[in-house]
Amino acid sequence: MTASPVLGNLFIIAAPSGAGKSSLIRALLEKHPDQSMQVSVSSTTRAPRPGEVQGVHYHFLSTEEFEQRIDAGEFYEWARVFGNYYGTSRKAVESLLAEGKDVFLDIDWQGAQQVREHHPEVRSVFIVPPSLEILEERLRVRGQDSDEVIAERMAKAQAEMSHYHEFDYLLVNDDFNNSLASLEHIVLAQRQKMPHQQIRYSSVLKELLG
């Protein structure tokens, strides 16, 4: 059966730090080695850390370049955090979608609001931990931080979570494998949606309907 080229789907995946988002995305990509799913590589003006590769971990840009691209409307969303810019390049996302890839944007609620304006058909997923206790455990594991630093991180996580209801789907990550399966169902169900399937199977439908 011949299939026509079809645009991929765009997904926002947001979560407070400690919800398990990165591990879930990584596991989902590993489960689909056909590379039909990709995480969009963000652009930033912060300096590369040891081991970070241009175009893989980030698109590293100078502040001047970044600001020019903001003015040219080349970002789906961008933000300035501690003096550094971070953003999602529209061109990078659109070229992946044109290849038929499902693209994941790993961004926060503010970025999500900006992307929805440009791309209303985006589907968005919010991931939360099952309790504050578990969130705190996960935030502590990352190092020997003071109670004050942990309290700040908890407050930041709660601020992020207060926007959970703006998202299309909610995952409560109490069981990694269940959450992974749910995330996969969301992505793969979207591929069966009518407008995409109509393009993908246009020749089949033409034959069937005579």
Contact 1, 114 (CB under 8 A): no
Quick one: 53 or 189, whose CB is closer to its own copies?
189
Binding site annotation covers 146? no
Nearer to its own copies among residue 58 and residue 167 (C-beta): 167
CA angle 35, 37, 38 (to 5 degrees): 90
**Cβ-contact 104, 13 below 8 angstroms:** yes
Q: Closest approach of Cβ 200 to its own copies, in Å?
A: 8
The answer on whether 151 is annotated among ligand-binding residues is no
Considering the complex, state which of residue 81 and residue 170 has its C-beta at the smaller distance from its own copies.
170
Q: How far apart are CA 51 and CA 32, in angstroms?
A: 25
Sign of the Cα torsion 77, 80, 81, 87 reads: positive
Residue 55, marked binder: no
To the question of whether residue 18 is assigned a binding role by annotation, the answer is yes
Work out the end-to-end distance of the chain between its first and last CA atoms, rounded to an integer number of angstroms. 17
Q: What are the residues binding its own copies (CB under 8 A)?
A: 1, 125, 128-132, 135, 158, 161-162, 164-165, 167-172, 174, 181-182, 184-186, 188-194, 197-198, 201, 204-205, 207-210
Nearer to its own copies, 92 or 180 (CB): 180
Residues annotated within a binding site for ATP:
15-22
